[in-house]
Amino acid sequence: MGQNSESTVRHVYALVSLRPAAEREAALDYWREHRDDFTGPEWLFDEREAEDRLELRVSLSAEDGTGRRIDGEGSFGIGFPRTGLAAIAHRYRGPKLSDDPDEQTAILQRTYRAGPHDIEDHINQMLGRDPEQHRPPKLAWGGLIAALAANGIHVSEKELIESALTMELDRDVTAALDVS
């Protein structure tokens, strides 16, 4: 028995906003209190490094067959440097900067600024949408799948992965990237 058009997903949206400073501080406070158990990178505690990072929250929603938009439950976070080689999430998209690979790396380290495609690459990784990227052990579809099920739409991760996805950056993220 097939699904009717109302119970299908026509499109997925990823709304990207800045992670609130209070939320970031609460996470840092937690890790400071549990520093002996902390296995992450020490730069998380470096204030200079923190100022150069984009800390983002991604909320998913889906449009059903009738055009109704259903918001997922909760959100997931992504964070990465704004500048330098580490700001490139998956692949560099831009002009060839040098024939010398070492020189190209040095130029990117000095001049690269994260852009919307880097955010999209991070989102695609968290959602398992890019087979070239490492897949996290648990994909970030759970909140959307639960919200859709509560609205009578039963879909699998595979179906959502194959759905069209549009990334929507809020004003603050656009300003943080210095793009319009």
Map out the domains of the chain as residue ranges.
5-177
Name the pTM for this structure.
0.81
Reported as a single tens digit per residue, the pLDDT across 54-102 is 889 999 999 999 999 999 999 998 888 888 888 888 888 787 788 898 9
Ranges of residues in the chain whose predicted pLDDT is under 70: 1-6, 31, 38-51, 179-180
DSSP string of 118-148? HHHHHHHHHTT--TTSPPPSS-TTHHHHHHH
DSSP annotation of 33? H
List, in sequence order, the alpha helices (H) in the chain: 21-33, 47-51, 101-111, 116-126, 142-150, 157-162, 171-177
**CB–CB of 61/71 below 8 Å?**
yes
**Apex CA 120: angle with CA 154 and CA 50, to 5°?**
120
Q: DSSP 3-state assignment of 42?
A: helix
> Tell me, what's the pLDDT at 90?
83
User: What is the residue whose two structure tokens read 């964070």?
Assistant: 79
